[in-house]
Amino acid sequence: MTLIRSILFALFLLIFTPIWSVLCILVFPFLNPENRYRFIGLWNKIVIWILQPLCCIRYEIRGMENMTAVLDQPVVVLSKHQSAYETIAYIALLPKQLCFVFKRELLWIPFFGWALALLKMIHINRNKKETAALSVVGQGRKRLAEGKWILLFPEGTRTPTGSHKPYSKGGARLASATEALVIPIAHNAGRCWPKNSFLKTPGTVIFSIGPAIASAG
């Protein structure tokens, strides 16, 4: 049954994503950056919604009050990275417009990457670490000034549930340079949508949002 559900979900993405990406490309010239984000975010909301009845993958958010209490302040969100699920879910579920820091290779993905390129995100060349670090601080400062929150995955790549990789210092460096608050998020999305796995396993993804941490001083 899990295999059948996973096949149906893959077919849904195969059909829905190109259509939505073309729509984004067509309407984006007529939208301001904020409305572009909202429009593309509808894709995220639909995908998260369809996963519930189709693959029996649901979600639970704990600690949302830690975000709603600081909506008017600059924030750097540091999240665990286990699967594609959280990348999709954050735009759909979090209460603030996000600016992701991501590897530039994602821009090369047909349809998805093309739509992503139309948003004001921060894409970096991970092969040039010093340049990437400067880019995160420079562009991150601008996006925070625009009222967006910056979201980074300090592990740099998807890491299986229960495993750990060294955290990069980019997020902490950005928060320190801008005196932004830091909000950590832990989750178990890798149990339902494992890295490099076609199968989508039924279960509940639990997001645990920690209290905001001051970076100044």
Contact by Cβ (8 Å): 177, 170: no
Looking only at the bridges linking them, the beta strands covering 181-187 and 203-209 are antiparallel
Length of the chain: 217
Flag the least confident range among 135-139, 166-170, 185-189: 166-170
Contact by Cβ (8 Å): 160, 81: no
Question: What residue segments make up the domains of the chain, in order of their start?
Answer: 2-209
Mean pLDDT of 8-34: 90
| Per-residue model confidence as pLDDT tens digits over 178-195 | 999 999 999 999 999 998
The domain 2-209: what is its CATH number? 3.40.1130.10
Mean pLDDT score of the chain: 88
With CA atoms as reference, report the closest residue to 195 among 155, 159, 153. 159
Q: What is the pTM of this model?
A: 0.90
pLDDT reading at 127 higher than 70: no
